[in-house]
Structure 1
């Protein structure tokens, strides 16, 4: 939703983080694959442009982003974690590590998770189906979190 705020290097680092995160639970669900394709499209990247970076390498890039951009990274990861309806311990641990490394405080972590839980509960559908809704109101709500 807000990924256009990243430059190409930041976008590549973000996609590396997404790749690492999606593999944490050893099961990349169909919904996660679809969302990853949506990320690539929004970032205007091709899969072959994503050079492999280690966690430490990508964090060096992400840590120097603006506070807002770091929040966007975390916000999108939470959405990815919840898109398949499963939220395992490995994903929680990975998100906690990212939050610490990107200096995302506990209240923001809770607010982001609540946004996606409430969004899904209110609309009773996958986060991926948002194209059919009034996206501007959803984007404004998410914007208040960032």
Structure 2
């Protein structure tokens, strides 16, 4: 008889199951990440996004008029930009505009639920508020 410790495929299977269970009980919402070099010759040693957003390595800032944040990694201008993940809308509804695009990231990711009939609207409002609270916990 073999045990999980003796079989690498069983180890992987148990790891995947553990990971899925961990994800299902957490309030984590994954979004997208873009990685690139944001440098400008007029600002050596910094990450340059635009004239209003220039960061030193280790700094991060919300990008205005968006629901994303940029994190400067090093003096070469390497940076990561993080944006909102996808959350399924309530049944018979769709997502509308952001509730508050100027809120801190990731709270700004929450959107208004738009539903055609009033019965769906009531349930959607509860769902929308739950999603907003989930995004607030990410900060």
TM-score (structure 2 length as normaliser): 0.29
Bigger-Rg structure (1/2):
2
Q: Structure 1 or 2: larger helix share?
A: 1
TM-score (structure 1 length as normaliser): 0.27
Higher relative contact order (CA 8 A, sep 6+): 1
Q: Structure 1 or 2: larger strand share?
A: 2
